Amino acid sequence: MPACPLIRQPAPARFQAGLRQLNQYFTTYAATSPQPLPAPGLLITPEIRQQSELYLPMTEIRRLFNRLYAATLSSAPIQGSTPFHSSPSWADCFASFPFWLQFSANPARLLERLLDDQQLLTRFLFFSFLPGRFNGAGFGRYPDQLGWLQQHLLKRNGPLRVLDAACGSGEGTWELVELLAEQGRLPEQVQIEGWTIEPLEVWAAQTQCLPHDPQREKNYQQRVQPLREQGWGERISFRAVDLLAAQIESAPFDLILCNGLLGGPIIHQPRPLQQVVKQLAGLLAEGGVLLVADHFHEGWKKRVPEAVLGALMEKAGLQARQAGGGWQPSGTDGMNP
């Protein structure tokens, strides 16, 4: 696996005062808490959560680990995706870790190991910013959408420009490439771009490297290798793009996919929702199609009902309807089946 150029070695001296304080907190916690300490497989009860937060305040833990993120990443980290951002207690945070991070109930011990072990630090950073719970993780996330595209693209001849907005680590983007290849399209007929706001995801998509999940990385690389050998690697590119930016420079796209972004934990407020929908509509070529889908739980769907998204699309000048397990907004001359 190539070294990730986005990760820097932190200076341990910057963390010593915070580590001492955190160790003191944990010593008191371990000596006096009547509830069990965090451990692999432990069911977190309200009592465990309360005691954990009493002795090990998440504000202190979050502050130290946010400092670690800032010190090690070459670009400003998006703290909202980390396991520390919304965890109500250290016990809950610990329970969310994979087994290879659950070696100590003491958060200071975890931080010490990360400062000392570059390989573990790299895995930890990718776990923090490419969590498996994100909708873009892995292949086969939106089979209904792929089924709709399979029929739709058969009716679309000629050159094709495609954007996978919020592409994550790129598996869904390559899955679309698979579909195009299976339909007999030549690489030189297609240009595909994948955009995400997270630079670590861009690097993962470019290299098919996932340091925090070796088995998923192996499957990823094996699956896309035949496509690379056919020349598709030269027709697909990934870059960091903020869809909330004032203006994005790009040629228009005939097809845009936007999965797992609108109406969930990342973008759900009315103004940002409207801004991104307008942005995507502006990137759509005449007669192009935008596909929007998600796997958000019902709580998010109640907060941002499908009717609201449909109305935003109509307001952006698109004709919106249900298709492929999500929305299919298009221009008035869209490639409708």
Kindly report the pTM of this predicted structure.
Answer: 0.89
Q: What is the mean pLDDT of residues 290-306?
A: 85
Report the pLDDT value the prediction gives residue 333, as an integer from 0 to 100.
41
Alpha-carbon distance of 147 to 126, in angstroms, equals: 31
State yes or no: pLDDT of 309 exceeds 90: no
State yes or no: pLDDT of 97 exceeds 80: yes
- Which segments of the chain belong to CATH 3.40.50.150? 143-327
State yes or no: pLDDT of 113 exceeds 50: yes
In which band, very low, low, confident or very high, does the pLDDT at 331 lie, cut at 50, 70 and 90?
Answer: low
Report the pLDDT value the prediction gives residue 136, as an integer from 0 to 100.
46
- Contact (Cβ atoms closer than 8 angstroms) between residue 183 and residue 154: yes
Report the pLDDT value the prediction gives residue 304, as an integer from 0 to 100.
86
The edge-to-edge listing of strands for the beta sheet with 253-259 is: 236-240, 190-196, 160-165, 253-259, 284-293, 326-327, 322-323
Alpha-carbon distance of 177 to 227, in angstroms, equals: 8
pLDDT in tens, 235-268: 999 999 999 998 898 999 999 999 988 888 888 8
Residue 327 sits at φ, ψ, to 5 deg, of -100, 145
Residue 164's DSSP bridge partners are 194, 257
In which band, very low, low, confident or very high, does the pLDDT at 135 lie, cut at 50, 70 and 90?
Answer: very low
Q: What is the mean pLDDT of residues 91-102?
A: 96
State yes or no: pLDDT of 332 exceeds 50: no
Superfamily name and number for 143-327: Vaccinia Virus protein VP39 (3.40.50.150)
pLDDT in tens, 246-255: 889 899 999 9
